[in-house]
Amino acid sequence: MNDNDIVIEAWNTVLFEKFLRFKHLLVAGLAAHSDEVLSRHPFPPGARVLDVGCGFGDSTLRIAQEVGPRGEAVGTDCASNFITVCEQDARANGIANASFFVADSQSDDLRGPYDHAFARFGTMFFMMPGAALRNVRKSLKPGGVFTQIVWRKREENPWIHDAEMCVRAIVPVVSHEESGQVHCGPGPFSMAGPDMVSAMLKAAGFNGISFERFDADICIGRDLNEAVEFAMALGPAGEIIRLAGEQGEKLKPQVTVALRETLGRYVRPNGVWAPSSTWFIRARNPA
Ligand SMILES: C[S@@+](CC[C@H](N)C(=O)[O-])C[C@H]1O[C@@H](n2cnc3c(N)ncnc32)[C@H](O)[C@@H]1O
């Protein structure tokens, strides 16, 4: 198995199962960011748009509605289990102008040409983001814009970083090499630095690069119990516990106490809401 097979395996198995368990929170929370970028920079009616690393494809379906019946939204993901859910949801919602296929964005044919491309929280998990950015650009028509949403720095994202700090203080950090387990790839904050990301986009052949900040509170649980479960399963905190294996499992009661205290400050009458912050990154395939 090469590094990318390990990441694909992770997204198709353990991470897919965790995402499915918390789909209700993830879809609503992440859509806060995509709804904003799509209202600031809507795709025009009739456009053909690629959604890279589309996960459950809710963003793909939203784009399909935006571009209307003369347009098309095409979602791709390296994990076939996500694509199966996408196809079911498209059928269930009667959205005929969305289609999906399994593809590794770094190396596979992305079936262009597209007018534009989109990625919500996908690119930060690509093992070779430079290769993926180049491949996405090649799938675009001249002048096509690639819009990405990525997390800004961890300190501005307490919705997952507070739990990470809490877990790090209790659970020994084991690297995925040491653990021998599958892993998610570079991780949620790997594209938080605008200097590095704009250099990567330029090297991939893009121009007209821009960054816009957006902040929104995200619901991480309908109550404190669910927020603690969510934190122990997903994000860097969940990964530290998983990679620590048996020891991580043993320390869960201690972690639960600490997380209840840490996340307790975010409890509101309608759930547990914590701040999050993203970059909307837009880059153009030269005309
Ligand atoms: C954090 S999830 C985001 C999913 C979705 N875009 C969303 O916002 O809900 C990252 C996604 O990237 C996908 N992914 C990771 N590496 C990939 C690659 N090389 N090619 C295509 N998809 C990849 C994963 O399978 C996963 O669905």
Per run of 10 residues, the mean pLDDT along the chain (length 287 residues) is 84 95 96 97 98 98 98 98 98 98 97 98 95 98 98 97 96 88 89 98 98 98 98 94 94 97 98 98 97
87 Cα distance to chain centroid: 19
Pocket test for ligand 1, best of 12, 120, 125, 136 (most atoms within 8 A of CB): 125
Give the helix/strand (H/E) hosting 104.
none
Nearest to 150, CA basis, from 112, 189, 113: 189
What's the N-to-C CA distance of the chain in angstroms?
Answer: 39
Q: Does ligand 1 have an atom closer than 6 angstroms to the CB of 16?
A: no
Residue 250 CA, ligand 1 centroid: distance in Å: 30
Domains of the chain by residue range:
3-284
Which pLDDT score, from 0 to 100, does residue 158 have?
97
State the pLDDT at residue 250: 97
CA of 18 to the centre of ligand 1 (A): 14
Cβ atoms of 190 and 124 within 8 Å: the answer is yes
| Mutate-to-test residue for ligand 1 from 3, 4, 11, highest number of ligand atoms within 8 A of CB | 11
CATH number belonging to domain 3-284: 3.40.50.150
Predicted local distance difference test score (pLDDT) of residue 1: 65
Provide the pLDDT for residue 4: 86
pLDDT for 184 equals 86
Residue 125: closest CA among 141, 144, 105: 105
Burial class (CB in 10 A: 0-12, 13-18, 19+), 268: exposed
- Structure confidence at residue 201 (pLDDT): 98
**pTM as predicted:** 0.96
